[in-house]
């Protein structure tokens, strides 16, 4: 059973839409979902007791008002309209955060974004949400043929109507002669001041108290007056004529973006209303336009998400970040503190590498299995060890120790052993480790380098620790680099290779590059930022080698290009480090006060 905590806005003046949506969503998500309303919200917020009274039966067994100090959830869904970065940090400590229609500063830092409502246009370029659809709105089941008359009108301005737009518009419609009182119905919201509507509207207007499940009754009216929010979309879907009167510029901008016919902001505009009523076919078409093409289940979308996202950088632990790209199954962020580009995933992760990874999958990518590729892998290992040998020369009477993390079937440690290194292997794949031990007769262990129990099982005082296309897989990158630094002797070398986030493929189309990045690549390294990152963990970069050069991927490259042009692109790729992979050789610095 997935545990989901839903946190709606309950601030007075923000209306009841956020709360109503969370209550409905919690019901659909099942018994593991709860809606949190703090007892400590203060005078500016609705209390749990007030909400339970306002929504009898709907909130009794769903709303909670306290959390255990270290209580965590599988997901935390924020439907708060605007969330600050400080507040986001608090909720991230409770579980991976999904922000729904978020408009605050937390939008760029939330682990996952879902937009069901349109957002006002902004001059700033920013990534879109992970998911976006008006079909995620809780739309009514009951619908009617699109209204072609405006005989009966409903005024519904939310559960709170803090600006008093309902009574104001009711008086305007009668006094200006647009409607007879008997053709108007005003709904008083569940959180509005008792008696406020009845005290201030013309006689003859029907005033209803809070209406449970109002959306299913909308189709009984021809025309619905409301402001931007859930009721406007529900009425559009139900087939009603819809006219919005918004409480301020913010909601007015949202209404324009959605395309709702407007009759003003704060004050009703008689000319605008008259124009709408004079051309009912156009009014009907405009009213129907904001409705989504089909219903979609928000509960299903939320319930399908699975994540261990912490909301902080895996290298330095900072929550100060900005999103770079978002996709339905993942989000990419740039840490503002250490500049690492990293991913948070929201789909089930693949398990341990199976035997097929080194055979069927390897053949599909390279045309041969891992073992069939042994000569090329040995040649690659030799070129890498040439560089390591230069940085860690032989010393008379002292052996050199090397640990290859992610050793696979052992091509690198086999070549290292041939050169006189005391070489060890570590890998997640049991079959690969068995091959290294039984066929190559070299020491190897099937284990996770991130496992805390590993400290007592692997050699320390290493002269080299290698991570060939492994470092990008670590969820806790900071702990991984800390462990590498502890295992290496001062002066020892950390050698790694990884895909490049600033190679030609990434530069050509960054969004497509990240979309194609394997789901288990949790960090994306860039040559120009690697030195600063590794310095945080006590390393000094001695050499960066750009690899994986693909001149054919340059913009404008064609199969029939002349050889001189292909050679020029290749030279440019090497000169400007545009390879799609790269290698780093970094020295472990001696702690202060100790010689290396």
pLDDT per residue rounded down to tens, the chain (596 residues): 899 999 999 888 777 889 989 999 999 999 999 999 988 777 788 888 888 777 776 667 889 889 999 999 999 999 999 999 999 999 999 999 999 999 999 999 999 999 999 887 766 778 999 999 999 998 999 999 988 899 999 999 987 788 899 999 999 999 999 999 999 999 987 665 555 555 578 999 999 877 878 899 999 999 999 999 889 999 999 999 999 999 999 899 999 999 999 999 999 999 999 999 999 999 999 999 999 999 999 999 999 999 999 999 999 999 999 999 999 999 999 999 999 999 999 998 665 566 677 777 777 878 888 888 899 999 999 999 999 999 998 877 688 999 999 999 999 999 999 999 999 999 999 999 999 999 999 999 999 998 888 877 788 899 999 999 999 999 999 999 999 999 999 999 999 999 999 999 999 999 999 999 999 999 999 999 999 999 999 999 999 999 999 989 999 889 888 889 988 998 889 888 999 999 999 999 987 644 43
Please report where in the chains the tokens 């399908």 appear, as a residue: 304
Adjacency order of strands within the sheet including 33-36: 63-64, 33-36, 4-8, 75-79, 97-100, 112-115, 131-132
**Edge-to-edge strand list for the sheet holding 262-265:** 206-208, 184-187, 153-156, 223-226, 241-246, 262-265
Integer angstrom CA distances of residue 157 from 118, 224, 479:
19, 10, 52
Please indicate, yes or no, if residue 81 is contained in any of the structural domains.
Answer: yes
From the CB of residue 24, how many other CB atoms can be counted at a distance below 10 Å?
A: 18
CA gap 501, 581 in Å, rounded: 8
The residue with tokens 């290992």 is 381
Burial grade of 500 (CB within 10 A; 0-12, 13-18, 19 or more): buried
Q: Which residue do the tokens 């005989």 mark?
A: 151
Say whether both 423 and 448 belong to one domain.
Answer: yes
Write the CA distances from 319 to 77, 90, 110, 287, 327, integer angstroms: 18, 11, 10, 42, 20
CATH number for 452: 3.40.50.150
Residues 548 and 405 in one domain: yes
pLDDT for 594 equals 42
Q: What is the CA radius of gyration of the chain?
A: 31
39 is a domain residue: yes
Distance CA 151, CA 63 (A): 40
Q: Is the residue at 481 inside a domain? A: yes
Same domain assignment for residues 427 and 501: yes
pLDDT score, position 364: 80
How far are the Cα atoms of 120, 138, 158, 298, 301 from residue 133, in angstroms, in the given order? 15, 12, 22, 9, 11
- Please identify, among 113, 137, 161, the residue that sits at the C-terminal boundary of a domain: 137
CA distance 474 to 450: 8
> In this structure, what token pair is assigned to residue 393?
């020369």
Say what the pLDDT of residue 534 is: 98
Clarify whether residues 419 and 561 are in a common domain: yes
The token pair at 583 is 């290698």
Structurally, the chain folds into a number of domains equal to: 3
Does a structural domain hold residue 594?
Answer: no
Q: Are residues 445 and 490 in the same domain?
A: yes
- 352 — phi, psi (to 5°)? -65, 150
Going by their DSSP bridges, the two strands 241-246 and 223-226 should be labelled as parallel
Write down which residue in 86, 104, 137 finishes a domain: 137
Phi, psi of 5 (to 5 degrees): -105, 120
- 382 with 487, same domain: the answer is yes
- Whether 17 is covered by a domain: the verdict is yes
Q: Do 519 and 428 share a structural domain?
A: yes
Q: What's the domain range around 99?
A: 4-137
Domain check: are 393 and 458 in the same one? yes
Q: What is the pTM of this model?
A: 0.90
**Is 595 inside a domain boundary?**
no
Give the separation between CA 350 and CA 362, rounded to whole angstroms: 16
CATH of the domain at 97: 3.40.50
- Cβ atoms of 524 and 474 closer than 8 Å: no
Q: Give domain status of residue 441, yes or no.
A: yes
The CATH number covering residue 270 comes to 3.40.50.2000
Provide CB contacts within 8 A for 436, sequence distance 6+: 407, 409, 410, 413, 425, 427, 442, 444
Kindly report the backbone phi and psi dihedral angles of residue 3, in degrees, each rounded to the nearest multiple of 5, phi listed first: -95, 120
Quote the pLDDT of residue 61: 81
Q: Are residues 70 and 108 in the same domain?
A: yes
Residues 175, 103: one domain? no
Q: What's the CA gap between 381 and 410, in Å, rounded?
A: 10
321 in a structural domain = no
Question: Sign of dihedral through CA atoms 446, 448, 452, 455?
Answer: positive
Neighbours of 293 (CB within 10 A): 8
Same domain for 168 and 254, yes or no, is yes
Q: Using alpha carbons, select from 340, 326, 290 the residue that is nearest to residue 524.
A: 340
Same domain membership, residue 239 and residue 181? yes
| Residue that finishes a domain, picked among 137, 172, 206 | 137
Extract the tokens encoding 334: 């740039």
């Amino acid at each position: 059973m997935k545990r989901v905590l839903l946190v709606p806005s309950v601030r007075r003046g923000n209306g009841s839409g956020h709360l109503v949506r969370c209550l409905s969503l919690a019901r659909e998500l099942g018994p593991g979902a709860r809606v949190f309303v703090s007892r400590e919200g203060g005078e500016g917020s609705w209390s749990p007791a007030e909400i339970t009274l306002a929504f009898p039966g709907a909130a009794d067994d769903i709303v909670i008002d306290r959390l255990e100090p270290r209580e965590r959830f599988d997901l935390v869904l924020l439907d708060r309209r605007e969330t600050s970065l400080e507040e986001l940090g608090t909720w991230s400590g409770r579980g991976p955060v999904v922000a729904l229609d978020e408009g605050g500063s937390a939008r760029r830092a939330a682990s996952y974004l879902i937009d069901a409502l349109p957002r006002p246009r902004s001059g700033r370029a920013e990534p879109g949400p992970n998911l976006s659809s008006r079909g995620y709105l809780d739309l009514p089941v009951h619908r009617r043929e699109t209204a072609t008359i405006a005989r009966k009108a409903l005024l519904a301005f939310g559960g709170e109507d803090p600006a008093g737009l309902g009574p104001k518009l009711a008086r305007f419609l009668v006094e200006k002669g647009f409607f007879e009182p008997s053709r108007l119905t005003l709904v008083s919201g569940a959180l509005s001041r008792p008696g406020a509507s009845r005290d201030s509207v013309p006689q003859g207007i029907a005033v209803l108290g809070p209406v449970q499940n109002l959306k299913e009754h909308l189709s009984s009216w021809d025309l619905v007056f409301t402001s931007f929010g859930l009721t406007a979309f529900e009425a559009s879907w139900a087939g009603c004529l819809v006219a919005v009167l918004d409480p301020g510029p913010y909601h007015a901008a949202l209404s324009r973006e959605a395309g709702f016919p407007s009759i003003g902001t704060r004050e009703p505009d008689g000319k605008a209303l008259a124009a709408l009523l004079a051309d009912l076919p156009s009014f009907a078409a405009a009213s129907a336009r904001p409705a989504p093409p089909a219903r979609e289940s928000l509960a299903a979308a939320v319930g399908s998400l699975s994540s261990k996202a912490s909301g902080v950088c895996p290298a330095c632990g900072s929550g100060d970040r900005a999103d770079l790209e978002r996709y339905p199954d993942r989000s990419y962020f740039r840490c503002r503190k250490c500049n690492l580009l990293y991913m948070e995933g929201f789909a089930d992760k693949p398990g341990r590498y199976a035997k097929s990874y080194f055979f069927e999958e390897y053949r599909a990518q390279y045309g041969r299995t891992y073992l069939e590729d042994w000569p090329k892998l040995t040649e690659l290992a030799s070129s890498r060890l040439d560089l390591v040998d230069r940085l860690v020369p032989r010393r008379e009477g002292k052996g050199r120790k090397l640990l290859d993390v992610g050793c696979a079937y052992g091509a690198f440690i086999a070549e290292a052993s041939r050169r006189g290194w005391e070489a060890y292997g570590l890998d997640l794949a049991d079959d690969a480790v068995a091959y290294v031990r039984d066929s190559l007769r070299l020491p190897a262990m099937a284990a996770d380098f991130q496992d805390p129990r590993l400290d007592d099982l692997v050699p320390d005082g290493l002269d080299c620790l290698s991570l060939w296309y492994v470092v990008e897989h670590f969820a806790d990158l900071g702990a991984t680099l800390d462990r590498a630094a502890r295992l290496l002797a001062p002066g020892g070398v950390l050698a790694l290779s990884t895909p490049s986030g600033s190679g030609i493929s990434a530069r050509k189309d960054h969004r497509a590059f990240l979309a194609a990045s394997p789901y288990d690549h949790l960090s994306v390294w860039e040559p120009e930022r690697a030195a600063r990152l590794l310095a945080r963990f006590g390393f000094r970069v001695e050499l960066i080698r750009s690899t994986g050069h693909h001149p054919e991927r340059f913009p404008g490259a064609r199969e029939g290009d002349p050889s001189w042009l292909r050679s020029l692109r290749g030279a440019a790729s090497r000169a400007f480090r545009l390879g799609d992979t790269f290698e780093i050789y970094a020295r472990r610095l001696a702690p202060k006060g100790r010689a290396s």
